[in-house]
Structure 1
Amino acid sequence: MTATPPSTPLTEPELDRLHDILEAGHASMNLESMDGYFTALICGPVFVSPSQALQQVLGEDFVFEGNEQAADCLALMMRHWNWIAAELQRTLVEPHVYLPILQEDDTGVARGDDWAHGFMRGVQAHPGSWSDLLNSEDEGGALVPMMMLVHEHDPDPEMRPPSMDSVKREEVITMMIAGATRCYGYYEAVRREGVMVQAPMRRHTPKVGRNDPCPCGSGRKYKHCCALNLH
């Protein structure tokens, strides 16, 4: 049997199978969140080993039904990681955009919230390393659509962006997809020069209060930094 190339995209049946495994095992992330999380880690300036990322997706309490399921799940996740990396690499040499996995809700609407949560969880695994992008005059807005969707249902009304109708949501999701590509291109020089360093990943992402230091690492209070982009 011919082995499947490592960067071959998962088929629909394979995506369904991976979705079912993550859901049945109560993984820390669903399929959409995993896609966003992987994308952020691949885009960023800090090297994270895929095996470490896979562990974060599954969570500490995840239990496989057996060795066969474990091997199948990890192989599918690893292949998806490699495919995202290959798709983002293509954006540097041709007019190509990586299209994320966005699952539809019961009404058939792709909301994008889970993907945004996954992406920002990847960013906040090493918030200080993203500070130069967030402070960039040209590219600092790349993460704004992700933050809008992350805070869409925030318990604090001041943290929520303006309400979105279907047209506005599609616009924000389009901006989010483009923003991820911009993030990847922004840090390409760091990756090319081989100066990426491996750092431990944060296990959890606590809620950020308005008077807390901004997680981007700028040194300013959150309400005077990234929170401003939500209004």
Structure 2
Amino acid sequence: MKYEALTDRDYQRLAETLARFRDQDCMNLEQLDGFFTALLCGPLQIRPTECLPIILGEAFDDEDAFPGAQGLERFANLLMRHWLDIAHTLQSEQPFHPWLDADEHGVFHGNDWARGFVEGIQLAYDDWALLLDDPSQSDLMAPIMALAFEGADDEEMQPYLSEISPEERAAWLGAITPTVAAIHQYFARLRSELETDSED
């Protein structure tokens, strides 16, 4: 697919479409951005169309979710272009900036983005374990884990359960950009090897 960056209007349409299905456990745009980023940074290149059931939740099986095949095709096109936006940024080594939505007070929390990223990890957890279990990279995932599990009711995720202060949140959000770049670089050799194997 030829790379064509999404316009502001395209992003608005994508966000509005996802928001229609929030009561059906569909991702919002912030969560989708984190999810796609994890898939593109990780060792395995999983295509967005393979993840529609995860993205749409119960709406994936709802025959009335989209106005015909063209409606679903337009939505899939927006998804793919957003995927390519992220891929282009990572491959060109431009600074990555997460898509974050502000709350009603204009505050950016980043929890949904981090939770989407963690959900992307789950799709290839055994391969991600190469990084997660690497002692030299033990602090790399700290910003994402802190935001993903803030307030979570899971004792195994200590010390990520306490509420984050505004100063800590600003630091974690600011750390996403270098963290994503480092993770993408960490798995670069493995992705290259897998792509070579698939061509043979």
TM range (shorter): 0.7 to 0.9
The answer as to 2:96 corresponding to 1:82 is: no
Deviates more, 1:164-173 or 1:71-80: 164-173
1:72 — aligned with what? 74
2:153 — aligned with what? 155
1:29 — aligned with what? 27
- Whether contact under 8 Å (1:45, 1:190) holds in the other structure is yes
Deviates more, 1:15-24 or 1:59-68: 59-68
2:10 — aligned with what? 14
- Whether contact under 8 Å (2:4, 2:81) holds in the other structure is yes
Amino acid of the residue matched to residue 85 of structure 1?
Answer: A
The answer as to 2:184 corresponding to 1:181 is: no
- Whether contact under 8 Å (1:100, 1:177) holds in the other structure is yes
Higher helix share: 2
TM-score normalised per structure 1: 0.74
Amino acid of the residue matched to residue 76 of structure 2?
Answer: L
**Which runs of 5 or more structure 2 residues have no equivalent in the other structure?**
none
- Whether contact under 8 Å (2:98, 2:176) holds in the other structure is no
TM-score normalised per structure 2: 0.85
Structure 1: which 4+ aligned runs deviate by more than 6 Å?
none
Aligned-residue CA RMSD (Å): 2.2
Shift in alpha-carbon separation, 1:139–1:6, aligned structure 2, 3 A: farther
Inter-partner Cα distance in structure 2 for 1:116 and 1:69: 29
Count of residue pairs brought into register by the alignment: 190
Amino acid of the residue matched to residue 32 of structure 1?
Answer: E
Inter-partner Cα distance in structure 2 for 1:18 and 1:119: 19
Shift in alpha-carbon separation, 1:56–1:197, aligned structure 2, 3 A: farther
Inter-partner Cα distance in structure 2 for 1:20 and 1:148: 28
